[in-house]
Structure 1
């Protein structure tokens, strides 16, 4: 799918069968800097502790490219039926039918059920769109951000979600931003950690991760 502006987003999602409201996980974090062992660790956590909470009707929204946490999501979703929606700035990703380009643009991750190409030529241009897409798919239902690893763009993703009132589950032990938040090593990380909406958990504590995601996605009183 392609959208040129925010006005076309609702129609694009409706045409893709993603309208109607459903629980949403916004997956953000590291990309090309994560080695395969780190990717597999995140994939295992998603498969065991996140996707089962979403069930068949939920959706995961991420950056859609074949790297880092997005590659992990593609691996994890193989045994689940949740929608996996990638949102990528069109100028930063190789054509969907191709592979990585000579200038290093990554290919889309093939395990995703949907790929939404949005305007932009720089990394980070997709960040506000990820937030918009997640909110539109949720359509009043609960959503939660899950952070693994990550850098500056992931911090923007987390902060944008917090500003919307979206809880965040930080997977400590995955490196970089996630560990900075867990350890409070930078002012920005400390601010995120201090939010009442932030939960920091060990990536190895699957039971706690599943419980936190379950609590975040529990419908509020009066919601159906």
Structure 2
């Protein structure tokens, strides 16, 4: 395991980061970056591509008005992929805009990200989202290699405290994220109407989908959906569900 890194971003934010090679190194890595205390944990997976402008603005409101405030009020950990794109960017921006201090932890293959101020970033790399507080870099040569690490990390962070996964939109990798979180016995709430993988999974829960992966996930019993696009009540319902899950005692 590499030593602790301090990453300085152009927006003035500083994040703690470390690199691991094996799952057995995660407990020590968490201790090194000051995340050894068990807390409720919120996992964010998916994307924000191929949405209408109105739907994108609705998803942005979700982060600003529901997800970031709940994480702050409960002192929860939030875990996502850490790159400066899609739902990860929305999570980071919401955290900063509401002045939150909750730990926002990005998990990504080191070979796929560009560290801030790097003179020679890896080819085809993606910048890190600059409003995250922590990063854990994992092995892998492709996006998606981080999926099992992300799910396992969330379980370790919670350490017996409740956790929940929110799945929005997303592509092929999001199927793997859903599988890994279901395998971790973590409730996965799908944002129906957000498009792509989220809508395929919601369709499977309705019995209206032929995708085998989605059908198998729907059979797990811990994959649920909520439609934020029906009415304002969707925000309130989701907020109540998340608070109820994450406020459950050990």
Fold shared per TM-score above 0.5:
yes
C-alpha distance in 2 between matches for 1:53 and 1:161: 20
Partner of 1:113: 133
Give runs of aligned pairs for residues 67-146 of structure 1, distance below 5 A.
Answer: 67-78=85-96, 79=98, 80-98=100-118, 103-146=123-166
C-alpha distance in 1 between matches for 2:79 and 2:63: 13
Out of 108-117 and 52-61, give the one that drifted further: 52-61
Q: Does 1:42 align with 2:59?
A: yes
TM-score, reference length from structure 1: 0.89
Contact 1:169–1:212, Cα closer than 8 Å, also in 2: no
Unaligned runs of 5+ in 1: none
**Other structure's SS at 1:147 match:** strand
Out of 93-102 and 167-176, give the one that drifted further: 93-102
Partner of 1:30: 47
How many matched pairs?
220
**Other structure's SS at 1:140 match:** coil
C-alpha distance in 1 between matches for 2:158 and 2:243: 15
Partner of 1:197: 222
C-alpha distance in 1 between matches for 2:159 and 2:50: 32
TM-score, reference length from structure 2: 0.80
C-alpha distance in 2 between matches for 1:145 and 1:195: 14
Per-residue CA shift, 1:119-140, capped at 9, x if unaligned?
A: 1111111111101211111111
Contact 1:173–1:179, Cα closer than 8 Å, also in 2: yes
Unaligned runs of 5+ in 2: 1-17
Larger radius of gyration: 2
RMSD: 2.3
Deviation at 1:56, TM superposition (A): 5.4
Deviation at 1:64, TM superposition (A): 0.4
Deviation at 1:40, TM superposition (A): 4.6
